[in-house]
Amino acid sequence: MENLLSVPIKNDIYYIGTNDRQTPLFEGMWPLPNGVAYNSYLIKGKKNIIVDLVRVNTSSVYLNKVQELLDGEDLDYIIINHMEPDHTSSIKAVLDVYPKAKLITNKRAVDMLNAYYEIEDNIIVVGEGETLELGDREFTFYTTPMVHWPESMVTYEAKTKTLFSQDIFGGFGTLDGAVFDDQVEFTKHYLEEITRYYINIVGKYSQQALRALKKLEGLDIELICPVHGPIWRENPQKIIDLYTSLAKQETIDGCVVIYGSMYGNTEQMAEAVAKGLAIGGIKDIKIRDITKTPNSYLLSDIWRYKGVILGSCSYDNSLFPPMNYLLTEISHQRMKNNYWGIFGSYSWSGGALKTLKKYMEDGKYDVLDTQLEIKGAANDEEIEALINFGKEMAAKILDK
């Protein structure tokens, strides 16, 4: 049968992943305007082996690909690098068709297989650094705990020097026709989506990510097959470098001003602060309305910009609720390489600045001492103070 649905990669390794353009939010909370791909790989040979599966909502498309490629042969093994359901929830559908397939994973995934899918049998457990010969190929497994879950591991196939890296090196965005790094306009289509994925999904585990990247340094890698985003065959070092930079939270000399405003007065304060930033020499400035920008994007901005200014109106004697939610998310991400600035507005008894101030103190953030609190709309004197506040932040960012 002609192979129409899968994509040959190298030496009988095939891409059999699926695209999801229906799910609006990844993990129920991160927007997917460009969808997401669930990458899966089938290695044909003396033994037929799948590496990582897809989400159940795409399983009928997926099974067509598997069945076309196997063309009546058995599936012998399924390597499960990561248990999150975007890569495993099709498992029952696959095992219904290929009940003899053995699952290969590590001990931390065994409980999860039972908890999610009531699967207890036909499991081969592998340990850190263990090598298995399957057919005419050799696979070595390396655990990468908390990148992204505790059971996460990667698989290295020696013959083709391929790293099946699960979530590591992945990103949002479907694979639209092309699947390889050298077939796509990376900067236009994937840079932002891979960056946002890293920050939203892996960012909080950056120390563990750096440990995982260190562990992989010793491998001779010619091909990287992640579970999301493009396959890296031309320049795997490019994605390794990008991930390393993200894991280190390397910031750029810019500033994001995030404001919460009910009637536009706090927005005008943000405009004045941004004017001060520009006068102070900052060229990369973003003003973000917290009510219109999902946290997914705000967190990405915060991760990358050296300067972050949060300005909020007060609401019921406390912080504007969307700003409160953002603070919760910032705590999860454990960002450490920013300079922070805060200001607040109020109508009668305040609340916003007090809450922001306490948050900064509790989290030991590097925050500017100037912390303006303005009643109602800013007058000329206050506008000037806000501009000076922006200039002060610019000097801090540019180390003047």
As separate numbers, helices (DSSP H) first and strands (DSSP E) second, the chain gives 13, 22
Q: 76 near 49, Cβ under 8 Å?
A: yes
Nearest alpha carbon to residue 160 among 83, 222, 88: 222
x/- track of binding to ligand FEO for residues 228-247 (CB under 6 A):
x-------------------
Smaller CB separation from ligand FEO, 228 or 304 = 228
> Which of 44, 65, 137, 148 is close enough to bind ligand FEO by CB under 6 A?
148
Identity of the residue, 15 or 359, whose beta carbon is nearer to ligand FEO in the bound complex: 15
Say which residues have a Cβ less than 8 Å from residue 183's Cβ, sequence separation at least 6.
230
Cβ nearer to ligand FEO, comparing 38 with 141 = 38
Tokens of 396: 């801090």
Do 390 and 274 meet the contact criterion of CB atoms below 8 Å apart?
yes
Pick between residue 84 and residue 271 the one whose CB is nearest to ligand FEO. 84
101, 127 contact by CB (below 8 A)? no
- Smallest gap from Cβ 149 to ligand FEO, in A, equals 6
What is the closest distance, in whole angstroms, from the C-beta atom of residue 150 to ligand FEO in the complex?
A: 11
Question: Minimal CB distance to ligand FEO: which residue?
Answer: 84
Q: How far is the CB of 23 from ligand FEO (least distance, A)?
A: 12
The site map against ligand FEO for 64-83 (x = CB under 6 A) is ------------------x-
DSSP calls for 82-132: --SHHHHTTHHHHHHH-TTPEEEE-HHHHHHHHHHH---SSEEE--TT-EE
For residue 251, the minimal CB distance to ligand FEO (Å) is: 25
Select from 76, 84, 157, 271 the one that contacts ligand FEO (CB under 6 A).
84
To the nearest whole angstrom, how small is the minimum distance from the Cβ of residue 164 to ligand FEO?
Answer: 13
Mark residues 189-228: x for contact with ligand FEO by CB under 6 A, - for none: --------------------------------------xx
| DSSP conformation class of 73 | P
**DSSP notation for 211-268:** HHHHHHTTS--SEEEESSS-BBSS-HHHHHHHHHHHHTT--EEEEEEEEE-SSSHHHH
Taking the CA atoms of 196, 201, 205 and 210 in sequence, report the sign of the dihedral they define.
Answer: negative
Binding segment for ligand FEO (CB under 6 A), chosen from 84-92, 182-190, 237-245, 254-262, is 84-92
> CA 167 to CA 152: how far, in whole Å?
8
Among residues 169 and 320, whose Cβ is nearest to ligand FEO?
A: 169
Candidate list 20, 86, 151, 193; residue touching ligand FEO; CB under 6 A = 86
Distance CA 223, CA 202 (A): 22
Strands 223-226 and 25-26: unpaired
Does position 306 interact with ligand FEO (CB under 6 A)? The reply is: no
Is position 167 an interface residue for ligand FEO (rule: CB under 6 A)? yes
- Contact flag: residue 354 with ligand FEO (CB under 6 A): no
Q: How far is the CB of 163 from ligand FEO (least distance, A)?
A: 16
- Give the separation between CA 209 and CA 5, rounded to whole angstroms: 33
Site for ligand FEO, rule CB under 6 A: 82, 84, 86-87, 148, 167, 227-228
